[in-house]
Amino acid sequence: MRIVDTTGNLRSLCVDLSDASYLALDTEFMRDQTYWPKLCLIQVAAPGHEAIIDPLAEGIDLTPFYDLLRKPGIVKVLHAARQDIEIFHHQGGVIPDPLFDTQIAAMVAGFGDAASYETLCRRIARVEIDKSSRFTDWSRRPLSQKQLDYALGDVTHLRTIYEYLKKQLEKTGRTSWVQEEIAALQDPDLYALHPETAWKRMKPRTGNKRFLAMIASLAAWREREAQARDIPRGRVLKDEALMEIAAHPPQDANGIDSIRAVPKGFSASKLGRTLMDAIFEGRGAQAPEPIEPDRPRRRREPSQAAVDLLKTLLRLRAEAIGVAPRLIANADDIERLAAEEDEGVPALHGWRAEVFGNDARALRKGDLAIALEKGEAVVVELED
């Protein structure tokens, strides 16, 4: 097993991998005690190569690895890639491109909703994964051979899975469907953690402008402190404390300590002093924009019958092409289609329109119907 724990060895590995057509990648990280994920291992495999990179090794510089991720001629293969991309983007300033996410590809290739890596290993690579090392402490050194074997298996089997799914997509002409989904994963805004928008995560259930202005100020304060100290948000101050402060902003430090959700003596700490500054700013701030722009009011609520018919149509069309239904349309899409509120519905664009959206419109117009044939629901095209 190739363990890379020096910058020199990493450079050598990256040279070996520089001509690969693809890289199968995975990471192991910890984030329960930190704000930023703590990268503990990087696993990489390509045809004829496999290795484990130790980011915690003393003095190691990961620049050669991140430079490798920037190479446009190498496909970067990950499973459920979002968290890995977040780490690469934050620590290395890179979003892998071109990218192939085997979870998305599996949904397009007929493996159901959110197919797990273990499922794909069993059904494609014909191996069973030993899950006993999954929740171990990856930051502790030395790692056991069992941990290393488990970690490396996450990319060695991924090679087989990728090659199979790539062929399936090419055979069915659905490669572009996957690329459309993956493009959304490569949007840098998806990984931006701006303190100014941290309040949205709290999902306040009120439109009161004073409350929204205060909670936005408090959430931004907490986000900045958590980022600077690299601690979880809740270690700065919990959500319920911010909500209570926003609802009843204290006038002074004594008022902070009287709030039940705030730890005793908090006002005397450095955090307590900066919290008072955030409260002061919140009093004079403007309320932020709503979390989502208000949608145009519906002329009518969709009937349950229309929703049920569209759900049945979605199921039938998804089964016919072997694609997970939720990849085509979600529950909100169905309700909006049933209410004829079409603007911005993803199911009416691109490949989704071809496999479902156009038929959904036809069903609404009465050009299609759903009937029973030998006890099974079928789609029937109606003649003029």
Can you give the CATH number for the domain in which 204 is found?
Answer: 1.10.150.80
- 81: in domain: yes
Q: Do 228 and 134 lie in a common domain?
A: no
**Pair type for strands 3-4 and 22-30:** unpaired
310 within 8 A of 338, measured Cβ to Cβ: yes
First to last CA, the chain: 68
Q: Do 358 and 273 lie in a common domain?
A: no
* pLDDT tens-digit map of 138-153: 999 999 999 999 999 9
- 291: in domain: no
**Which whole number is the average pLDDT over 167-185?**
93
Give, to the nearest 10 degrees, the angle between helix 304-321 and helix 358-365. 140
16 within 8 A of 49, measured Cβ to Cβ: yes
Give the end of a domain, one of 160, 191, 222.
191
Is there a cis peptide before residue 72, judged by omega within 30 degrees of 0? no
Q: Tell me how far apart the alpha carbons of residues 47 and 163 are, in angstroms, rounded to a whole number.
A: 10
Q: How confident is the model at residue 135 (pLDDT cuts 50, 70, 90)?
A: confident
Can you give the CATH number for the domain in which 317 is found?
Answer: 1.10.150
Q: How confident is the model at residue 112 (pLDDT cuts 50, 70, 90)?
A: confident
337 within 8 A of 350, measured Cβ to Cβ: no
* pLDDT tens-digit map of 330-383: 999 999 999 999 998 999 999 999 999 999 999 999 998 898 888 888 888 887
Instruction: Determine which of 5-19, 74-88, 122-136 has the lowest per-residue pLDDT on average.
Output: 122-136
Q: Do 177 and 205 lie in a common domain?
A: no
Helix (H) or strand (E) holding 173: none
* pLDDT tens-digit map of 209-240: 999 999 999 999 999 999 999 999 999 999 99
Instruction: Determine which of 22-31, 67-76, 283-292 has the lowest per-residue pLDDT on average.
Output: 283-292
Is there a cis peptide before residue 142, judged by omega within 30 degrees of 0? yes
pLDDT surpasses 90 at 159: yes
Across the chain, where does the E strand assignment appear?
3-4, 22-30, 38-46, 49-53, 75-78, 99-101, 368-373, 376-381
The pTM score is 0.84
Q: What pLDDT is recorded for position 130?
A: 81
- 296: in domain: no
DSSP code per residue over 217-246: HHHHHHHHHHHHHT--HHHH--HHHHHHHH
Can you give the CATH number for the domain in which 178 is found?
Answer: 3.30.420.10
- 293: in domain: no
CB atoms under 10 Å from CB of 317, counted, come to: 21
Give the end of a domain, one of 191, 222, 237.
191
Take residue 159 and report the two structure tokens written for it: 């090679």
- 184: in domain: yes
Query: Which SS3 state, helix, strand or coil, does residue 358 take?
Result: helix
Q: Do 184 and 70 lie in a common domain?
A: yes
Q: Do 225 and 240 lie in a common domain?
A: yes
Give the end of a domain, one of 134, 165, 191.
191
Q: Do 116 and 129 lie in a common domain?
A: yes
State the average pLDDT for the chain.
Answer: 92
80 within 8 A of 103, measured Cβ to Cβ: yes
Q: Do 234 and 110 lie in a common domain?
A: no
Instruction: Determine which of 123-132, 186-195, 292-301 has the lowest per-residue pLDDT on average.
Output: 292-301
Q: Do 309 and 273 lie in a common domain?
A: no
C-alpha to C-alpha distances, 363 to 225, 254, 326, 367, nearest whole angstrom:
53, 63, 19, 6
Q: Do 187 and 148 lie in a common domain?
A: yes
Provide CB contacts within 8 A for 138, sequence distance 6+.
28, 29, 30, 40, 41, 147, 151
* pLDDT tens-digit map of 248-292: 999 988 889 889 899 989 989 999 999 999 999 999 999 998 655
Which strand ranges, in their side-by-side order, compose the sheet holding 75-78? 3-4, 49-53, 38-46, 22-30, 75-78, 99-101
Q: Do 186 and 226 lie in a common domain?
A: no
C-alpha to C-alpha distances, 253 to 162, 259, 267, nearest whole angstrom:
58, 11, 5
Q: What pLDDT is recorded for position 294?
A: 45
Q: What pLDDT is recorded for position 353?
A: 94
- 295: in domain: no
Q: Do 119 and 250 lie in a common domain?
A: no
Assign 3-class secondary structure to 49-90: EEEEECCCCCCCCCHHHHHHHCCCCCEEEECCCHHHHHHHHH
pLDDT surpasses 80 at 5: yes
Cα 277-279-282 angle, rounded to 5 deg: 110
Q: Tell me how far apart the alpha carbons of residues 125 and 156 are, in angstroms, rounded to a whole number.
A: 10
Number of H helices, E strands in the chain: 17, 8
Q: Do 105 and 162 lie in a common domain?
A: yes
**In the chain, how many domains are there?**
3
**Which whole number is the average pLDDT over 160-183?**
94
- 263: in domain: yes
- 299: in domain: no
Which residues form the domain of 233? 195-284
Q: Tell me how far apart the alpha carbons of residues 54 and 1 are, in angstroms, rounded to a whole number.
A: 13
Residue-wise burial string across 173-185, b where 16 or more C-beta atoms lie within 10 A, e elsewhere = ebbebbebbbeeb
Query: 126-135, long-range: CB within 8 Å, 24+ apart, which pairs?
Result: 127/153, 127/157, 129/153, 129/157
